[in-house]
Amino acid sequence: MNSAAPLHHQQSRSYVGKRQPRVEDEALLRGLGRYADDLAVPPGTLHAAVVRSPHAHARIQRVAIEAALQIPGVRGVLTGEDVKRWAAPFPVGVRQPMEHWCLAVDKVRYVGEPVAVIIAEDRYLAEDVLDAVEVEYDVLGVSIDPEMATNDDASVLHEAVGSNVVNDRYFNYGDADTAFEQAAHRLSLKVRYPRSACTPIECYVVLGQYDPAEGGYDVMANFQGPYAIHSVMARALQVPANRLRLRTPPDSGGSFGIKQGVFPYVVMMGLAARKVGAPVKWVEDRLEHLQGASSATNRVTTIEAAFASDGRVSALRFDQLDDCGAYLRAPEPATTYRMHGNLTGAYDIHHLQVRNRIVMTNKMPTGLNRGFGGPQVYFALERLMQRIAVTLDLDPLDVIRRNLVPTEAFPYRCAAGALLDSGDYRRGIELGVEQGGLEELRQRRESARREGRHYGIGYTVAVEPSISNMGYITMAQTPEERRRAGPKNGAVSTATISVDPLGSVSVHVSSTPQGQGHRTVAAQVVADVLGISLESIRVDVELDTGKDAWSIASGNYSSRFAGAVAGAVHNAALKIRARLDAIAAQQWQVSVEDIRFGEGRIYTADGVHATSFQRLAGATHWAPGTLPEGETGGLRETAFWTPAELTAPDDDERINSSLCYGFIFDYCGVELDSLTGRVTIDRYVTLHDAGRMLNPQLVDGQVRGAFAQAVGAALYEVFHYNEDGSFASGTLADYLIPTTVEVPDPTILHMETPSPFTPLGAKGVGEGNNMSTPVCIANAVADALGDAVEPGAIELPLTPSKVRMLMGIEEPPRPEGVAEESPQASAGGGSKLSASDSVEIPASPQQVFDSILDPDTLKAMIPGCHSLELTGDNAYRADVTVGVGMIRARFDARVELAELEPPHSLRLSGAGKSGMGDAAGAAKIRFSEIEGGKTRLDYDYEVTVGGKIASVGGRMLSSASKMLIGQIFSRLSQRLSGSTSKRSLWQRLRALTGKRGGDQ
């Protein structure tokens, strides 16, 4: 080894891995960014405004545009008739007779759905004219709640389908049934994940042009990809893909998935331009954006685990109901399947059953949204893990640790097919615990609780998938349907590098960045491979489908840049270098292995030969005759890269849905304000293993941004629909995005386990906290609220009013000198209620009857029961906390079982008193055997309350008693079956309060 060898290695590492400031910033900080609305438009460009539906569901009887056309400056109106003449419905991801056009043609199915487009000489005028279009609607019934939309009597959005459930798939991996039978414990949890969106500050912008000579459309839009959607748009426009030239601007004002949803407007404005024979520009306003752009998919999940007494989970069941809104817009139902291969999270769980249903409701269509499918899955899974810990009285972190995929198991094949590429999850937990200061956080909780404050700690582990397999979307089809359609898989990424005659380097990537800094990282990668300065490289990120290299996986989604696109850039740079290696080796008559690149020079390892990069690269243009045989001259290389690991779904329905899987371990401490219910994040710790970090500053930026959005989703943001489907979150004063005072600075920790599957060892890191943080905060709130709260009631966003309601009002101590009132004395003067109901329990009447007589079961049945003491024959004294409305009181109660007629009927009664008043109730219960060895319990009950409870909570008596009694039988059912009864308490509560609109 020659000690005098140059310091430069074959590939120097001057830039990659460094906290490199961004090349993008100089222009953006000067106000010189070129966003879609900043670009020059052709002379004569007209402006569009969109007429939208005020109804959630209605048949369009007539669209009258004559009055609008009379207004000076109006050049045309595009209607559903034009769209039917020139276009086609968008292709749909499931085989169902449902049509989605870029403008409503027969019915409107959500508030804000486009009905017509006014095309006028200026935007202000176009908006004025909106009111001149007269649309006659025949209003129809609505389906808003996803569960109710599945009912037989629900209003159906797409009549030809015959149901709102447009896709229903069942998957079975391993032997979950046996695992559930054999497990010591089973626990089921039903959760609802609401609608929200990451909502960029820049809205949609489209400039459409139509060329009748070629029959082609040329559209500029701030579209983010995936470019598989280009095919969807071309088909809708009924042109070959080369007649839809789609261009993106140099800069984008953020997207986070949302700007995928601009694609129907690309088609719409193309058609608008065709209608008037002039370029048409449309800039979406904020109301249009909030009500009609795109939303995350809301989901109702029932998740169930089979587990041992140490918390080790052997099997999981997911029942997921995904509400994709009014239309199944491409690439939906991708939300449902993005996480499919890794549904078991960071855990080593072998048996898995999944049922996925897609339901249509009268709400805006869903689409890409940062985290895509992840927050929904982890909200169910990690809430369940927390519940398992609470049920077994274990530390939640111990339950997590016991279930992690073992370090020696990587690459690890998950039950549903994901191949977890690399990781060391146990070390991640230990690092997070030590460096994040968990012990101190626990002490803070302890001292807060000593002072009577509501403080809780929540934990989450998650795998963060990146680089989506384009084939995962076909999981919505059956294996047979997939066979007929042909395999879909892979994730082709591309990059092009050119070296011009003066030797300067230009890079093009088809990743359509939305603010992440792709230009900087691409330059870092190329600078290292070619040994030139970062500043000398220019990176172009505009995408023009008419001129640039692209493929269906191009675009900005699934955190694919660092792993896939930067990898393609690296490969393209290697191709350039290989050609220059060969040229230099021939010129100097040395071996290729001796050639080095560094500091803008190309030289031999022994230092004998050297030249500037520009000179040697320029020779490919100026003196091609001097080049080695086979060298073509010119210097431009395009690399396409797709990973072999992304295969199509197999016949056993296993799918490696993503290429890379990062690891996240989060925990946080939160405090609940006992007066207002406001949740304050005391400390948030987030540990990430995203493989090799290409630019740690940008990695931290991604983590912080995702975290802030997740704080919004956890605590503030929700798209609220009223019962009639009207939209109630149409301004940023209604849709609450957190500001500087709500978002704390998280403690960010890193470890690096490089991916073996990407060229640079990097994995995606853009979406992790969107997935992990909402449930981590929810787990902390659950911990702070304690056991008295129904687990399924912890629903996002955890707004102050919701949390305050869950906290209830603790009973104040009885003032000194005030005598105890006797229950009998005041009960007569209070509120009285009687009602009846029934419930089904999966056990025989005798079993049910016997179990009610068992004191342990009785104690478990009574919600809020602290102790139950036998005082006589089937008579007990109980210490119970009961809530009526927001009031929560602790009762000293007598409970009695009488009129026993086994196994046909009995009478359950109770009476108690508290500082807040008194209450008494009795229920006559009848047991009858029904099909399947189950029992139907019919019960008539009577409840009387008196004292403060009656005066303050009297109005709530009916719903509170119904809820309480429902809870008693739901608990009985759970105890007998190991799961909750079919109608959960929360469902009952919703039914009672009539809350069928809401945050769905």
Shortest approach of another protein to residue 511 CB, angstroms? 14
| Beta-sheet pairing, 280-283 with 46-52 | parallel
Shortest approach of another protein to residue 943 CB, angstroms? 47
Distances from the Cα of 747 to the Cαs of 433, 663, 902, in angstroms? 12, 16, 60
Strand partners of residue 508: 496, 540
Closest to another protein by CB, 258 vs 392, is 258
Q: In the numeric block, which tokens belong to residue 462?
A: 């998650």
Distances from the Cα of 545 to the Cαs of 217, 221, 512, 520, 575, in angstroms? 12, 12, 12, 23, 23
Helices assigned H by DSSP within 635-722? 696-715
Shortest approach of another protein to residue 697 CB, angstroms? 5
704, burial (CB in 10 Å: exposed 0-12, middle 13-18, buried 19+)? middle
Shortest approach of another protein to residue 746 CB, angstroms? 8
Shortest approach of another protein to residue 369 CB, angstroms? 12
Shortest approach of another protein to residue 393 CB, angstroms? 36
Q: How far apart are CA 114 and CA 130, in angstroms?
A: 12
Q: How far apart are CA 69 and CA 195, in angstroms?
A: 38
Q: How far apart are CA 146 and CA 534, in angstroms?
A: 52
Q: φ, ψ for residue 37 (rounded to 5)? A: -80, 0
Shortest approach of another protein to residue 245 CB, angstroms? 24
Q: How far apart are CA 394 and CA 203, in angstroms?
A: 47
Closest to another protein by CB, 252 vs 755, is 252
Binding site for another protein (CB under 8 A): 21-22, 24-26, 28-33, 35, 37-38, 124, 198-203, 251-254, 256, 285-286, 514-517, 697-698, 700-701, 703-709, 731-733, 737, 739-741, 743, 745-746
List of residues 6+ apart from 984 with CB closer than 8 A: 190, 792, 970
Closest to another protein by CB, 405 vs 566, is 566
Q: How far apart are CA 467 and CA 1000, in angstroms?
A: 29
Shortest approach of another protein to residue 707 CB, angstroms? 6
Closest to another protein by CB, 150 vs 460, is 460
Quick one: which of 694, 702, 684 has its CA closest to 777? 684
Q: How far apart are CA 158 and CA 154, in angstroms?
A: 12
Closest to another protein by CB, 30 vs 85, is 30
Locate tokens 């459930």: which residue?
165
Closest to another protein by CB, 23 vs 473, is 23
Closest to another protein by CB, 33 vs 842, is 33
First to last CA, the chain: 68
Shortest approach of another protein to residue 735 CB, angstroms? 9
Closest to another protein by CB, 417 vs 766, is 766
Shortest approach of another protein to residue 201 CB, angstroms? 4
Q: Report the SS3 class of residue 749.
A: strand
CA R_g for the chain: 32
Closest to another protein by CB, 40 vs 819, is 40
Closest to another protein by CB, 515 vs 863, is 515
Quick one: which of 464, 658, 698 has its CA closest to 564? 658
Residue type at position 350: H
Q: Which helix (H) or strand (E) holds 412?
A: strand 412-413
Closest to another protein by CB, 31 vs 817, is 31
Shortest approach of another protein to residue 261 CB, angstroms? 16
Q: How far apart are CA 36 and CA 792, in angstroms?
A: 44
Angle at 511 between CA 506 and CA 516, to 5 degrees: 95
Closest to another protein by CB, 720 vs 975, is 720
Shortest approach of another protein to residue 22 CB, angstroms? 7
Shortest approach of another protein to residue 43 CB, angstroms? 15
Shortest approach of another protein to residue 472 CB, angstroms? 27
For residue 331, say if its preceding peptide bond is cis, omega within 30 degrees of 0: yes
Closest to another protein by CB, 33 vs 437, is 33
Shortest approach of another protein to residue 226 CB, angstroms? 19
Strand partners of residue 78: 117
Strand partners of residue 114: 52
Closest to another protein by CB, 38 vs 481, is 38
Q: Which helix (H) or strand (E) holds 231?
A: helix 228-237
Closest to another protein by CB, 709 vs 973, is 709
Q: In the numeric block, which tokens belong to residue 398?
A: 């111990």
List of residues 6+ apart from 883 with CB closer than 8 A: 788, 808, 864, 889, 960
Query: Taking every pair of C-alpha atoms in the chain, what is the biggest distance, in angstroms?
Result: 112
Locate tokens 């290697």: which residue?
574
Shortest approach of another protein to residue 140 CB, angstroms? 31
The upper half-sphere exposure of residue 223, i.e. CA atoms within 13 Å in the direction of its Cβ, equals 30
- Taken as a whole, the chain contains a residue count of 1000
Closest to another protein by CB, 37 vs 177, is 37
Closest to another protein by CB, 719 vs 939, is 719
Locate tokens 């009858």: which residue?
928
Q: In the numeric block, which tokens belong to residue 102?
A: 């870029």
Closest to another protein by CB, 37 vs 837, is 37
Shortest approach of another protein to residue 776 CB, angstroms? 15
Residue type at position 798: L
Shortest approach of another protein to residue 732 CB, angstroms? 4
Q: How far apart are CA 563 and CA 804, in angstroms?
A: 44
Strand partners of residue 116: 51, 79
Q: What DSSP designation does 947 have?
A: T
